[in-house]
Amino acid sequence: METAAEIRKRLGDEWIPAIYRDRVRTQRTRAYHLNIPPKEHRAEIHYTLLGIELKIGNKRFSCPDLSTARYLQVFARIGCQDIAVPYDITKISTLADELEISWHKTVLLFEDLTKDKIASAKGRMRSGLIKEIRQEIEEIGAGSLMPEFKQSTKQRNN
């Protein structure tokens, strides 16, 4: 799809799959499964008495904090089912910022590139763009369910 290729070229390192590959998967992560169908979704963050939830369609996912909810929201919009979440919670907020900025830039570039298209063509092109982003993220993978921990320490020589 030429629109996705043009957006990927313009964004460069800010392309969502590039951020995911270079900034998320290079660190220790755990796999997280969102039980949603693979398509574009509206994802909303809700503040409840029990904490923060991410609502995707009619499903709700409990989140430990706002930055995790924002991080998951980007992938939920794309329709990713299995993603990697950084194990170090101090890194999630920065990554959520980067991913949200990339998402909004992607949408703005898409609108700019398709401003002369009719609505039905625009819808097909947007679906194709979202599908391409999702496929690239799925190819990168979510990693293992739990991160690996080094068994050796400085005190012990194994």
129 in Cβ contact with 7 (< 8 Å): yes
**Rounded-to-10 torsion of CA 27, 34, 12, 66:** -70
Element (H, E) at 56: strand 51-56
pLDDT in tens, 108-146: 999 999 999 999 999 999 999 999 999 999 999 887 766
What the block records as the tokens of 101 is 């900025």
Angstrom distance (rounded) from CA 61 to CA 27: 24
Q: Which residues contact 56 (CB under 8 A, 6 or more apart)?
A: 34, 36, 41, 42, 43, 44, 76
Q: What is the residue whose two structure tokens read 């270079």? A: 22
CB 36 within 8 A of CB 78: no
Q: What is the pTM of this model?
A: 0.87
> Which comes out higher in pLDDT, residue 87 or 147?
87
Look at residue 124 in the predicted model and tell me its pLDDT: 93
The tens digit of pLDDT for each residue in 1-32 reads: 688 999 999 999 999 999 999 999 999 999 99
Q: What is the C-alpha to C-alpha distance for residues 71 and 67, in angstroms, rounded to an integer? A: 6
